[in-house]
Amino acid sequence: MKSTYTEIKESPKGKDSKMNIEVWEDLVNIKDLVISLIVCSVMALGGYFLAPNKPPKPLFFGLSGAILGFVICSIFIKPNRIFIETEQED
Amino acid sequence: MTTTLILQMIVAAVIAAIMYTIIGAAPGADETATIAPITLVLVLSGLHPAVILTFFISAIVACKLIDAVPVSTAGIPAGVMSTPMVEHAMVLKKFGLTDTSIRKIASGAVVGTFVSVPVSLFLARALVPFSTVIKQYGDPVFFIGAVLLALMSKNRWVALASILPFALLIQGLRHLYWGIGAVPKGTNVFTSFFLAITIGPVILTLFELLNKEKRESMKRFDKKSIYLKKAQEIGKFPNPFRILTKKEIVYSTMASLIGSVAFILSPVGLTTFFGELFASRTKDPVEKASLAISTMEALAQATYFSGTLIPLIALGIPLSPMSLGPANPLFNAPPVFTLQHNMHHILSGLDFISATLIGAAIASAFTYFVAVKYSQQICAFVFKKIPHEALLGLFFSLVLLLAFMDAGWINIAGVLLIGIVAGVLYRLGVNYGVLFMILYSAPWIIKTLAG
């Protein structure tokens, strides 16, 4: 019974398993890209508007927001790279 | 120059070196897109110009030097500049010489820095008398620059044909902003247009994703497999000048000299041309490959320095591909820097020299050490932990933020528009240099057209 389950989980193979497209010389997953664009943008603009209205504070808050967004995305999104370490060179 | 300022410069150099050692190792991290927005933010924040210059110099050194790691270990270029080196680095990898490859590239970078810093500072001084001649022509200089860069590029006809329409788009938007009062009349929105051009190809791809047929017809990929060979442990720490053979040092030095003098030409073109030329006379494949990579890296560093420092010190206007791209915020970042008031006018000779030396020395030492000692760990960290999506998100959000700061909500649509057009032109074969030159010459072109 258990094996059927795993099979179902793995079933959408073939065309659908290839979900990544190439943007700027590396692969991205469309859904993850959209999430990342939204998270970073909201954090950046949010930081900008929440900051005390005395320059250059809004800019720094905005930048910090963008970087925080970047960190959040890096934690939740898995890179689409398979990393294979081979043994010592001969 | 006070002690506090020097301390700030050292801190800026250290931060830039660490930051760009990580960002620079990520695949596809273009120098303009990664360095220009951060530098811009720093300029706008009102930090002392000498601190910003130190940050910038440290960033370009670290960003270029760390290329050695992804290129040598995985054969993946970390930016446009390292693309020509991949082929040769792969030869070394095939012979099991990944470590040698990293060290040769890193040492080439150190040689390039060593040679080009004094040469660029000297050339800049020597060019000062000519600067008045060049500046007399003022505005048309950029138009002539756009035409010249277009003629020198691979797709010259499409580049030439796009000068007028693209200038029209830029000035058209500026006049619209004046008309509706988004910015005071006469204020040229610049920063966000510049960034829009930089990430134009990405914006175009994002719009294509919104089209159902386009999206479904896009090439789909599975995950990208990256093979990495385990490098050997390093016993004693290597001296960069001992790693290169005599011939490699001589050739790298020559290449750096050429790169410094030819600061006005495209860095990628120069690197490919001279790297291949110098290496072509060597037969042994390993010897040839290591000569090619060390020479190319030295030359690339040299064009970075000369392309930034010479226009900055001698002219104060961006007249090299480097100063039009990554170094642009040092010349023009309104309201802090304008072409009449930027680092060229503010900083003294001593400021320039100390900023360059502090930035270059700290980044070279730090990144060289890290690249040689921890190549494995960096590669693993960047490839496993930093998703490309997050990098794109970061740059996109910075562009949005600066677009809003430049001219309000309407400018976000304006930036998307310029991004789409610039992206299409870029795909048609118009290079960044031409597009940036058009951005600079647009006011003059339209004024002349209107008569």
Instruction: Tell me the pLDDT tens digit for each residue of B327-379.
Output: 999 999 988 999 888 999 999 889 999 999 999 999 999 998 888 888 778 77
The Cα–Cα gap between A12 and B353 comes to 61
- Of all residues in chain B, what percent carry a pLDDT higher than 90? 42
The Cα–Cα gap between B230 and B216 comes to 39
Q: What are phi and psi of B425, to 5 degrees?
A: -60, -40
Instruction: Output B369 or B74, whichever has higher pLDDT.
Output: B369
Within 53-72 of A, beta carbons closer than 8 Å to B belong to 55-56, 58-60, 62-63, 65-67, 69-70
DSSP B131-155: HHHHHHT-THHHHHHHHHHHHHSTT
Token couple for B380? 């693993």
Name the nearest CA neighbour of B106 among B380, B370, B306: B370
CB of A37 within 8 A of CB of B393? yes
In the predicted model, what is the mean pLDDT of residues A13-28? 69
The Cα–Cα gap between A6 and A2 comes to 7
Beta-carbon-side half-sphere exposure of residue B113 (alpha carbons within 13 Å): 27
Ranges of each domain in chain A: 29-77
* CB-based contact, B100 to chain A, within 8 Å: no
Tell me what the pLDDT averaged over chain B comes to: 87
In the predicted model, what is the mean pLDDT of residues B214-228? 81
List, for residues B31-54, the tens digit of each pLDDT value.
777 888 889 889 988 899 999 999
* CB-based contact, A51 to chain B, within 8 Å: no
Per-residue pLDDT at B159: 95
DSSP three-state, residue A27: strand
Token couple for B367? 């990144």
CB atoms A33 and B393 under 8 Å: yes
Name the nearest CA neighbour of B256 among B295, B200, B311: B295
The Cα–Cα gap between B413 and B415 comes to 5
Q: Could you tell me the pLDDT band of residue A89, with boundaries at 50, 70 and 90?
A: very low
Question: Does residue B287 have a pLDDT over 60?
Answer: yes
Max alpha carbon distance in chain A (Å)? 64
Token couple for B95? 């012979």
Task: Supply the Cα-derived Rg of chain B in whole angstroms.
Answer: 22
Question: Does residue A10 have a pLDDT over 50?
Answer: no
Instruction: Output B382 or A44, whichever has higher pLDDT.
Output: A44
Question: Does residue B427 have a pLDDT over 70?
Answer: yes
Closest Cα in chain B to A37: B393
The Cα–Cα gap between B140 and B147 comes to 11
* CB-based contact, B211 to chain A, within 8 Å: no
Contacts of A16 in chain B (CB under 8 A): none
CB atoms A36 and B28 under 8 Å: no
Contacts of A36 in chain B (CB under 8 A): 387, 389-390, 392-393
Per-residue pLDDT at B403: 92
The Cα–Cα gap between B64 and B74 comes to 16
CB atoms B397 and A21 under 8 Å: no
CB atoms A74 and B401 under 8 Å: no
Per-residue pLDDT at B295: 92
Q: Which of A25-34, B135-144, B379-388 has the lowest mean pLDDT?
A: B135-144
How many CB atoms lie under 10 A from the CB of residue B123? Answer: 18
Cβ–Cβ pairs < 8 A, chains A and B: 174
Q: How far is CA B415 from the centre of its chain?
A: 21
* CB-based contact, B224 to chain A, within 8 Å: yes
Interior angle at CA B293, CA B290 and CA B298, nearest 5: 125
* CB-based contact, A81 to chain B, within 8 Å: yes
**Bridge-based pairing state of the strands B224-229 and A81-86:** parallel
The Cα–Cα gap between B139 and B445 comes to 9
DSSP B211-245: SHHHHHHSPPB-PEEEEEEPPPPP-SPPPHHHHS-
Amino acid at A17: S
Residues 6+ apart with CB under 8 A from B341: none
Contacts of A44 in chain B (CB under 8 A): 397-398, 400-401
CB atoms A59 and B220 under 8 Å: no
Dihedral sign for Cα atoms in the order B102, A67, B383, B216: negative
Closest Cα in chain B to A59: B45
Interior angle at CA B61, CA B58 and CA B65, nearest 5: 140
List, for residues A25-66, the tens digit of each pLDDT value.
678 899 999 999 999 999 999 999 998 887 678 888 888 898
Ranges of each domain in chain B: 3-215+235-450
Token couple for A82? 């398979």
Q: What are phi and psi of A86, to 5 degrees?
A: -95, 165
In the predicted model, what is the mean pLDDT of residues B159-163? 96
Mutation target to probe the B interface, by most B beta carbons within 10 A, among A21, A35, A49 is: A21
Instruction: Say what the pTM is.
Output: 0.81
The Cα–Cα gap between B139 and B147 comes to 13
The Cα–Cα gap between B376 and B380 comes to 6
Q: Determine if the peptide bond prior to A56 is cis (ω within 30°).
A: yes
Name the nearest CA neighbour of B24 among B75, B72, B74, B60: B60
Token couple for B338? 């304008």
List, for residues A70-88, the tens digit of each pLDDT value.
999 999 998 888 877 776 5
Cross-strand partners of A29: A20
Q: What is the distance in angstroms between the Cα of A57 and the nearest Cα belonging to chain B? A: 8
Q: What is the distance in angstroms between the Cα of A7 and the nearest Cα belonging to chain B? A: 20
Q: What is the distance in angstroms between the Cα of B396 and the nearest Cα belonging to chain A? A: 7
Amino acid at B436: F
Could you report how far apart the first and last alpha carbons of chain B are, in Å? 48
